[in-house]
Amino acid sequence: MLTMIMTDKKKMDKRGGAGMNAKEYLKQLQKMDVMIKQRQQEKDELRTMLGSISSFDYAKDRVQTSRASDAHYVKIIEKITEIEEGIGHLITEYLEKKHEMIGQIQKLKNDKHIEVLYKRYIEFKRIEDIAEEMNYTYPYAISLHGNALKEFEKENDGYF
């Protein structure tokens, strides 16, 4: 599924980073998070739809035993099952990628760089919020973020 996570249609190798810069690489996690949430929403919509399909009235006399209304239930249940399996795979990939990225971030030597990259790309916080949390001005937080990305690329040389 990581092959689905591409930026500007650039092919990625199995490590997930070929042809990317640090920022593009680190943003993959947030994209995966969005994909998982969208699939969960799709599953929830199908479950709602499943509950809204009118149930069969067994009190009515029936001449034939075919149950066309059951086909809708079956198709929806099959789709829900398929989506749940896909979500499971996406979550597994997400957790593996998150673990990998945390390790790469924690290899940095500057503690401030570790903190800003962790907050931005693991916790998905905005630079404005990070600046406030770390008691920095917004321009300083932007500069710190840029320097952190440079250190990340240097420390993970050959990964991009």
103 belongs to a structural domain: yes
Q: Say whether pLDDT at 26 is over 70.
A: yes
Residue 147's pLDDT is 98
115 belongs to a structural domain: yes
Question: Tell me: the pLDDT tens digits for 39-87?
Answer: 999 999 999 988 877 555 555 555 555 555 567 889 999 999 999 999 9
**Contact partners, residue 40, CB within 8 Å, separation at least 6:** 87
Domain count, the chain: 1
150 belongs to a structural domain: yes
- pTM, entire model: 0.76
Instruction: Supply the range of the domain harboring residue 98.
Output: 20-52+71-154
6 belongs to a structural domain: no
Could you tell me how far CA 128 lies from the centroid of its own chain?
22
62 belongs to a structural domain: no
Q: Say whether pLDDT at 16 is over 80.
A: no
Length of the chain (residues): 160
4 belongs to a structural domain: no
In this structure, the number of other CB atoms found within 10 A of the CB of residue 57 comes to: 8
**Cβ contact 116:92 at 8 Å:** no
97 belongs to a structural domain: yes
101 belongs to a structural domain: yes
